[in-house]
Structure 1
Amino acid sequence: MLSFLRSKSNGELNSFAFKAVSVLADGSQSRGLRSSFTNGVWIDKPLPLKASFKEIIDNIYMAMSMQVDFQTKKAVEVLNELNSWAEKETNGPINEALPAGSVDSLTGLIFANALHFKGTCNKKFDASKNKEYDFYLLDGGSVHIPFMTSEKKLCVCVYDGFKVLKLPYSQGEDKRRFSMYFFLPDSKDRLPALAEKVASEPRFLDRCLPSEAVQVGDFRIPKFKISFRIEVSEVLKGLGLVLPFSVGRTEMSLCISSIFHKSYIELVNKEGTEATSTSVVVWTAKSYHPPTNVIDFVADHPFMYLIREDMTEAVLFIRHVLNPLQAS
């Protein structure tokens, strides 16, 4: 898994984590830009903590840590406390990071993080220009939804089989540089293949993210709002992360029983984007073709998007949209 995370050692991974947390956890707001990232650890009182583990929690992940009692009815109180913490840290949209019954007297440790982002696009969308068009689904059907448009000079790259759009967020006096990227396959049914490339090919993102503005002809992206929850233990096991789920195989004699992830993302009002998520652990592009003529970018079929802080290359959110009217 270290290689999957582009780290050669725990030390290198911790160094990147410290840098990312330092940048993303700012919490300040500048001209509509707001990004906050917080970690929390809830530890059962009888559980002995190694000094090295406590140091990483405090100094690398800058996590708030609390000794709690998971016994009997106290487990429910801890669950309610964590969900209140998640609602506060995500500014409201996520008020149930952990579902009922996910914490009990056998729980030894909970690690949670909450990420909130709100940004205003450099090129604002004029709501008066919104029009409804068809969005084509993977099953051959379609839905009629509002699309947005803006100025016609945008950062777009054209590759064999797909296009990439960059929408920078207003920076103000903030040193961080956030952008939203859309990956749009040329064919309506090619999103799964494109997503596989992004997930599996090293440095794929670095090779194909656009940086220069070009003249765009027909430009349309749909409005959408997505909220979903997933239990990701089996997904991580499928990626090869099996050791933490094995009883007695971790340094603290604990094993992870479940990992819950919940996200809320809204694109777009006329201003920009709001996105937030919580994760709770209960313990290649082919050839690039510079456009010679005006190009179109019409996201009227399934696509993928991500929000990234470009200085650290940290990806805050990555999702796909199969139907703008449904959670995805």
Structure 2
Amino acid sequence: MAQQEQVDVSLNLSKHILLNYGKDSNLVFSPISIQVILGLVAAGSSGQTLDQLLSFLKARTIDELNYLYSSIVDRVFAKDSSSSGPCLSLANGVWLQKSLTLKPSFKEVVETVYKAACRQVDFESKEEDARNVVNSWAEKETKGLIKEILPSGSVDSSTKLVFANALYFKGAWSCEFDASRTKDNEFHLLDGSSIQVPFMTSNKKKQLIRVFDGFKVLGLPYKQGDKRQFSMYIFLPDAKNGLPRLVEKFGSVPGFLERHIPYKEVEVGAFRVPKFKFSFEFEASDVLKELGLVLPFTRNDDLTEMADSPVGPKLCVSRIFHKSFIEVNEQGTEAAAVASVSIVLLCRKFYIDFVADHPFLFVIRENNTGSVQFIGQVLNPSST
């Protein structure tokens, strides 16, 4: 499984999530977080369920899938010795009903590939206590940004296993925006109305921008560490109501993100990017089923590689909860996610404007590996 295929899975997933949940709201989610959770499920599956998970995640074998996610955990989320680079952490957790034990082979994958700690709790008689244990873990791993990944009523006496994945990112721009220059300007909403929101700008005369048919892409690098290089990319449609069409293209064309990354700085004219801060949560199973991933959510005999049980119940995935947070300001970006992509004539100077004054997409990406940490859209920067 190539890294590019993992990115294509991310973009395809993003298209369906954006179209299902993002019609009238800001949205952010972590595709890698959801994929890691599905990888854990795959590691404990067999038969047709395993085949379907591998097909969805574009892997030929479970060993190939384990290798990919192990390399992502080791390369992208390894601690950076440089203090200037972004703070990025990934944590995986497994909570098991205390009457069960993990099978040795699955336990090894959980601990060595996914670096997850397994804890035993009592879902059968103390489900609320068990839910609070998972939520406290998520809050700690996301520096307090995600306080409740398992909502009330999400676990009960039938719950046997809970997998959770927490992702935290905080990065400073390589060239910070000057807060004294931040001013309110007009932002156009999809319904044709407009609002006043704070826009950041810069006195930097060149920016990483590429122009395509129907949209532009801005690259905003974060301060680099000694191993990793992260950037935010903003995909801005030309038309003020052009976001839905861009979303369709973004998630349907293989290799779309890689082919539209800006690598060269160009002279910039008008340049404004809005500040924004919001959280978003959704339950992912319906979207995954629409994409053809149905067997993990069906009670069958295929989730047999996870745990030994004295009664041998048939297991299935109940629901997959995902919650994310992002804040973009003059200094940089803080984000977290938890889960249970012209011709110049003569010598006239040509300036490219980049004014994000209408709905746009954004991506946070590690550039050395191409892995995508966050994808989202901003419909209204003032909405939290």
TM-score, reference length from structure 2: 0.79
Q: Which runs of 4+ in 1 moved over 6 A?
A: none
2:323 counterpart residue number: 262
For residue 235 of structure 2, the aligned residue among 163, 168, 183 is: 183
- Are 1:210 and 2:262 matched, yes or no? yes
Report the alpha carbon displacement of residue 44 of structure 1 after superposing the two structures with TM. Answer: 1.3
Report the alpha carbon displacement of residue 66 of structure 1 after superposing the two structures with TM. Answer: 1.1
1:134 counterpart residue number: 186
Q: Residue 271 of structure 2 contacts residue 354 of structure 2 at CA under 8 Å; is this kept in 1?
A: yes
Comparing both structures, which one devotes a greater share of its residues to strand? 1
Report the alpha carbon displacement of residue 171 of structure 1 after superposing the two structures with TM. Answer: 1.1
Report the alpha carbon displacement of residue 3 of structure 1 after superposing the two structures with TM. Answer: 5.0
Deviations for 1:111-157, whole angstroms, at most 9, x for unmatched residues? 00100000000111001111111110111111100100111311111
Deviations for 1:47-81, whole angstroms, at most 9, x for unmatched residues? 34333221211111111111222112x21111111
Report the alpha carbon displacement of residue 249 of structure 1 after superposing the two structures with TM. Answer: 4.2
- In structure 1, what is the Cα distance between the partners aligned to 2:55 and 2:245? 22
Report the alpha carbon displacement of residue 22 of structure 1 after superposing the two structures with TM. Answer: 1.4
2:47 counterpart residue number: none
1:65 counterpart residue number: 118
Q: Are residues 155 and 52 of structure 1, via their aligned partners in 2, closer, same or farther at CA, if it must alter by over 3 Å?
A: same
Q: Looking at both structures, which has the greater relative contact order when contacts are Cα pairs under 8 Å and sequence separation is at least 6?
A: 2
Please state whether the residue corresponding to 1:143 is helix, strand or coil.
strand
Equivalent residues in 2 for 1:224-239, closer than 5 Å: 224-239=276-291
Report the alpha carbon displacement of residue 255 of structure 1 after superposing the two structures with TM. Answer: 0.7
- In structure 1, what is the Cα distance between the partners aligned to 2:258 and 2:56? 15
Report the alpha carbon displacement of residue 308 of structure 1 after superposing the two structures with TM. Answer: 0.7
1:309 counterpart residue number: 366
- In structure 2, what is the Cα distance between the partners aligned to 1:44 and 1:105? 9
Q: Are residues 249 and 202 of structure 1, via their aligned partners in 2, closer, same or farther at CA, if it must alter by over 3 Å?
A: farther
AA in 1 matched with 2:326: I
- In structure 2, what is the Cα distance between the partners aligned to 1:251 and 1:99? 24
| Structure 1 residues not aligned, in runs of 5+ | none
Q: Residue 24 of structure 1 contacts residue 37 of structure 1 at CA under 8 Å; is this kept in 2?
A: no
Provide the aligned length of Structure 1 versus Structure 2: 317
2:105 counterpart residue number: 52
Q: Residue 27 of structure 1 contacts residue 37 of structure 1 at CA under 8 Å; is this kept in 2?
A: no
Equivalent residues in 2 for 1:1-328, closer than 5 Å: 2=54, 4-27=56-79, 30-31=83-84, 33-72=86-125, 74-150=126-202, 151-172=204-225, 174-252=226-304, 253-268=314-329, 270-280=330-340, 289=342, 293-327=350-384
Q: Are residues 27 and 175 of structure 1, via their aligned partners in 2, closer, same or farther at CA, if it must alter by over 3 Å?
A: closer
| Structure 2 residues not aligned, in runs of 5+ | 1-52, 305-313
AA in 2 matched with 1:265: I
- In structure 1, what is the Cα distance between the partners aligned to 2:263 and 2:344? 13
AA in 1 matched with 2:106: F
% identical equivalent positions: 53
Q: Residue 243 of structure 1 contacts residue 249 of structure 1 at CA under 8 Å; is this kept in 2?
A: no
- In structure 2, what is the Cα distance between the partners aligned to 1:168 and 1:137? 27
AA in 2 matched with 1:258: R
Comparing both structures, which one devotes a greater share of its residues to helix? 2
Q: Are residues 5 and 297 of structure 1, via their aligned partners in 2, closer, same or farther at CA, if it must alter by over 3 Å?
A: farther
Q: Residue 200 of structure 2 contacts residue 272 of structure 2 at CA under 8 Å; is this kept in 1?
A: yes
Report the alpha carbon displacement of residue 23 of structure 1 after superposing the two structures with TM. Answer: 2.7
- In structure 1, what is the Cα distance between the partners aligned to 2:60 and 2:110? 20
Report the alpha carbon displacement of residue 97 of structure 1 after superposing the two structures with TM. Answer: 1.1
- In structure 2, what is the Cα distance between the partners aligned to 1:168 and 1:26? 19
Report the alpha carbon displacement of residue 170 of structure 1 after superposing the two structures with TM. Answer: 0.3
TM-score, reference length from structure 1: 0.92
Q: Residue 176 of structure 2 contacts residue 332 of structure 2 at CA under 8 Å; is this kept in 1?
A: yes
